[in-house]
């Protein structure tokens, strides 16, 4: 093992070594570089959670400390009323010391909140200043660390480009990593695949302008599917069905039924829509159908077809 390999000053040398290795693999034909897969991994820093501060963490910790002081004060009142002698005085003095330590911690958090306002990304880490609080894949979990980005050749699985950032998301990393891989591979055109965490309306066109074809899924930003409701992806435009008659029907349905009704449940909605549809088809004459109802026009059309 090389001593001091993890020192910050060795970063440029490590990058050059990796770049030379990729160039060697490309020259001997190991790397074709037709397509790369881009991904990120979260790595824990030396800085633990208690020494990382955000606005939410300070508010949560302060509320917890205030609740502790209130609990100690209530206990002091109880002891003062129910106990006597030296034991009472000792217990009250002990609780008073605890309250004082908590007040000092609250003042420290208040000072940290002031410093937080001057921080560019509203976050402070005491042990490792560059580390940032990041959400992990498991719900409700997280860590204080770094986001390691890598672009991997899909055929050989060799890393052709890498970077380490302290942003907790990947949305702005698609084009930087794809362009770095393209430069390392010496390609004029290239394909890149990534997961939905990289989807960005700015990053995808930037890759296209650089001659990089990207493939990645569009994330669902609406929570309606989990509620059992339809989302935008469930609807598709049908050019063959797009005509004035259907548009007129849709407009009437919206105005006379959907917008005019307050549905209590899905069953109630189905019932009211079916009632409206029956009235529309069975009872209403339409000028476009020669003053006939849709059901009458359909029956007449069927009779004409039978005769023909």
* pLDDT > 90? residue 138: no
CATH superfamily name and code, 31-45+130-215: Ribonuclease H-like superfamily/Ribonuclease H (3.30.420.10)
Average pLDDT over residues 76-97: 85
- Read off the pLDDT of residues 24-63 as tens digits, 9 standing for 90 and up: 888 888 888 889 999 999 988 888 888 889 888 899 999 9
**pLDDT band with cut points at 50, 70 and 90 for residue 227:** confident
Q: How confident is the model at residue 308, as a pLDDT? A: 64
Alpha-carbon torsion angle 69, 73, 75, 81, nearest 10:
180
Candidate from 165-179, 267-281, 294-308 with smallest mean pLDDT: 294-308
Q: How confident is the model at residue 65, as a pLDDT? A: 93
**pLDDT band with cut points at 50, 70 and 90 for residue 152:** very high
- Read off the pLDDT of residues 276-287 as tens digits, 9 standing for 90 and up: 999 999 998 888
Each domain of the chain, given as residue ranges in start order, spans 31-45+130-215, 49-125, 236-307
How does 164-183 read in b/e, with b if 16+ C-beta sit within 10 Å? Answer: ebbebebeebbbbbbbbbbe
User: Are the beta carbons of 65 and 105 closer than 8 angstroms?
Assistant: yes
Average pLDDT over residues 135-164: 85
User: Are the beta carbons of 43 and 136 closer than 8 angstroms?
Assistant: no
């Amino acid at each position: 093992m090389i001593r001091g390999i993890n020192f910050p000053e060795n970063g440029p040398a490590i990058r050059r070594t990796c770049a030379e290795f990729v160039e060697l693999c490309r020259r001997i034909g190991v790397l074709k570089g037709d397509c790369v897969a881009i991904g990120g991994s979260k790595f824990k820093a030396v800085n633990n959670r208690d020494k990382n501060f955000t606005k939410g963490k300070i508010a949560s910790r302060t509320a917890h400390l205030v609740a502790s002081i209130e609990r100690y004060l209530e206990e002091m009142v109880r002891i003062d009323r129910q106990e006597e002698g030296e034991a009472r005085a000792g217990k009250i003095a002990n609780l008073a010391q605890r309250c004082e330590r908590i007040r000092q911690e609250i003042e420290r958090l208040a000072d940290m909140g002031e410093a937080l306002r001057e921080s560019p990304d509203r976050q402070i880490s005491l042990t490792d200043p560059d580390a940032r609080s990041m959400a992990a894949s498991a719900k409700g979990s997280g860590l204080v660390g770094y986001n390691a980005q890598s672009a991997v050749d899909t055929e050989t699985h060799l890393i052709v480009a890498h970077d380490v950032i302290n942003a907790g998301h990947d949305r702005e990393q698609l084009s930087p990593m794809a362009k770095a891989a393209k430069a390392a591979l010496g390609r004029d055109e290239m394909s890149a695949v990534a997961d939905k965490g990289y989807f960005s309306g700015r990053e995808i066109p930037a890759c296209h302008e650089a001659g990089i074809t990207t493939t990645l899924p569009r994330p669902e930003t609406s929570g309606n599917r989990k509620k059992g409701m339809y989302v935008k992806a469930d609807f598709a435009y049908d050019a063959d069905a797009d005509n004035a008659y259907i548009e007129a029907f849709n407009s009437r349905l919206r105005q006379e039924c959907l917008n005019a009704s307050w549905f209590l449940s899905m069953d109630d909605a189905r019932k009211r829509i079916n009632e409206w549809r029956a009235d529309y088809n069975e009872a209403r004459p339409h000028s476009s159908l020669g003053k006939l109802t849709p059901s009458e026009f359909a029956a007449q059309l069927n009779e004409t077809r039978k005769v023909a």
